[in-house]
């Protein structure tokens, strides 16, 4: 079987409130994007890694070539547009499966990625890494209207792993229909494809705010020691 990876890395990182996109912030001696690509690079089952970068991005070109499988394509307006551009760039390759992983999640464990791939391939259906919600969840605006039962609530992580053609078709159709798509699974759910929930480590955080960055610095120093 042929597996490709797609890394959306074309965001501006507005919630991080720094001058340049957050994926180029350094942790220890490398940028966040390099840490993420190093993790994916450990998966020998990947034959291509397509990174979606912004058209105005001058940082990506300046990175050392990390892995011979890495190529770049232009990102789009939203994350889903960036992912779709990368999927379209893979049309010639016709991978069987695609593994989509946020540039902003350098902490993912190799073991979790391997488990996700193995379980999905074995069952012939797509899935995502996800973590059961641990907190008590409130719904409301300024005051709590209710406490939402958390038994069936999961936090969606990445990687998200789906059959290539099905994901490409679902994303194209969902975007054509102006469906709000915040991850690959939301397009697959909308298109009524199965989305397996594969329990993953909750320290696979998406670095979004300055607090996340501080936590990621600690977690990476722990992983590397
Ligand atoms: N992303 C992308 N293309 C976009 C928007 C986001 O490829 N048009 C990528 C980001 O680079 C990131 C991932 O999708 O790796 C998850 O998005 P998010 O954490 O929201 O990153 P940003 O959009 O950059 O941050 P913010 O929403 O705070 O501006
Ligand atoms: Mg965003």
Which residue minimizes the CA distance to atom 26 of ligand 1? 13
Which mutation among 6, 11, 204 tests ligand 1's pocket best, with the greatest number of atoms within 8 A of CB? 11
Number of domains in the chain: 1
Q: Which residues contact 44 (CB under 8 A, 6 or more apart)?
A: none
Per-residue pLDDT reduced to its tens digit, 190-207: 999 999 999 999 999 999
Q: Which atom of ligand 1 is nearest to the CA of 8?
A: 7
66 has a pLDDT exceeding 90: no
Q: Give the number of the ligand closest to the Cα of residue 12.
A: 1
Q: Which atom of ligand 1 is nearest to the CA of 78?
A: 8
Q: Which atom of ligand 1 is nearest to the CA of 52?
A: 7
- What distance in angstroms lies between residue 14's CA and the mean position of ligand 2's atoms? 8
Per-residue pLDDT reduced to its tens digit, 97-145: 999 999 999 999 999 999 999 999 999 999 999 999 999 999 999 999 9
Q: For position 68, which CATH number holds?
A: 3.90.550.10
- What distance in angstroms lies between residue 11's CA and the mean position of ligand 2's atoms? 6
Which range of residues forms the domain containing residue 109?
Answer: 3-224
Confidence band for 31, pLDDT divided at 50, 70 and 90: very high
Which residue minimizes the CA distance to atom 13 of ligand 1? 102
């Amino acid at each position: 079987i042929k597996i490709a990876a797609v890394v959306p890395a074309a965001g501006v990182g507005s919630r991080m409130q720094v001058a340049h996109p957050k994926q180029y912030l350094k942790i220890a001696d490398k940028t966040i994007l390099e840490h993420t690509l190093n993790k994916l690079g450990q998966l020998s089952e990947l034959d291509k890694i397509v990174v979606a970068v912004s058209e105005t991005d001058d940082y990506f070109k300046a990175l050392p070539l990390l892995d011979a499988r890495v190529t770049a394509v232009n990102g789009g307006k939203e994350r889903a547009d960036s992912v779709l551009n990368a999927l379209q760039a893979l049309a010639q390759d016709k991978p069987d499966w695609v593994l989509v992983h946020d540039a902003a999640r350098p902490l993912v464990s190799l073991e979790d990625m391997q488990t996700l791939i193995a379980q999905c391939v074995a069952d012939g259906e797509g899935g995502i890494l996800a973590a059961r919600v641990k907190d008590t969840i409130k719904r409301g605006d300024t005051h709590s209207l209710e406490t939402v039962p958390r038994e069936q609530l999961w936090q969606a992580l990445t990687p998200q792993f789906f059959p290539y053609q099905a994901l490409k078709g679902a994303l194209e159709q969902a975007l054509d229909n102006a469906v709000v798509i915040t991850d690959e699974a939301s397009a697959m759910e909308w298109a009524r494809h199965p989305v397996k929930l594969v329990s993953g480590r909750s320290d696979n955080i998406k670095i979004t705010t300055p607090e996340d960055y501080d936590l990621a610095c600690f977690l990476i120093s722990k992983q590397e020691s």
